[in-house]
Copies of this chain bind each other. A is one copy, B any other.
Amino acid sequence: MARHVHRVKVAALTEQMPVPEAELRHLHVMRLRPGDTVQVFDGGGEVGEAELLSLDTLSAQLRLLSRRTATAEYPQSVTLAVALLKGDKLADVVRAGSELGAAAFQLLRTRYGDVPDIGDNKLGRLRRVAEEAARQSQRAVVPAVLAPVPLTGYDPAGQVFYAHPGSPVRLLDVLTWAAPVTLISGPEGGFAPEDLAHLSAIGATPITLGPRILRAETAPLALLGALAASGV
């Protein structure tokens, strides 16, 4: 039977910890008993294991067994470079991408982009979306949202990948966590010839997302989802 890890939020990870009143009922409902182990977290990045010392109707005490600083970041920075999309699509990509661990979003101008540029208001809004998503996901890092640059001039350091139908290459087969990672995702209309020529010229690797046709806002999340599901 899979062991369920009970998580208890405490004010701070200390040798002896009182269980906050809000968490007491959970412990009772879960039928925890002195001697049981729970995971404790403070909401600020510290997590640990603790033993339940005592539990009665009005209070409970925990003893800290071990602690570590939780990091929800990938071993290397992962930048999502995404073409300018219309409407709320970029906000959706930034929100879910922030949950899925992107360290930065580089907006790209492409020939077939939905829109040729975005204004400061919209850029500011995307930055607020990233900040809020990072907060809700309890990430220590707030992803940057970088003003648009032309894809045909974009040459990031490290490993660069772009989703391309027909590519037989799988992201997890070629990605190493030894250098920063950039995932480039195109507009709804696809990459133009000059985009593809540039991607080849900078040595970007075309990778598969299978034979399915994905909307421009789905592809980047599928790529990040693959990273998340690899457990790093």
Interfacial residues, chain A to chain B (CB-CB below 8 A):
1-2, 4-5, 7, 26, 29-30, 39, 70-72, 96, 99-101, 136-139, 164-168, 170-172, 193-194, 196-197, 199-201, 203-215, 218, 221-232
Contact = CB atoms under 8 A, between A and B. Distances in A.
Contacts of A170: 229-231
B231 A4 contact: no
Contact of A70 (B167, B211, B228): B211
Contacts of A232: 210
13 contacts: A1-B203, A5-B165, A29-B197, A100-B218, A139-B212, A208-B229, A210-B228, A210-B229, A210-B231, A212-B228, A221-B221, A225-B226, A225-B229
A3 to B, nearest CB: 8
Contacts of A138: 213
Closest 10 CB pairs of A and B: A225-B225, A222-B225, A226-B229, A208-B231, A5-B166, A29-B193, A1-B200, A2-B200, A210-B228, A137-B213
Contacts of A164: 2, 4-5
B166 A72 contact: no
A5 to B, nearest CB: 4
Given A2-B203, A223-B229, A39 B100 contact: no
A136 B206 CA distance: 23
Given A171-B229, A210-B228, A221-B222, 14 more contacts: A2-B199, A2-B204, A2-B205, A4-B200, A29-B194, A39-B166, A70-B211, A99-B215, A101-B212, A136-B213, A137-B212, A210-B230, A214-B228, A223-B225
A203 B1 CA distance: 5
Contacts of A30: 193, 196-197
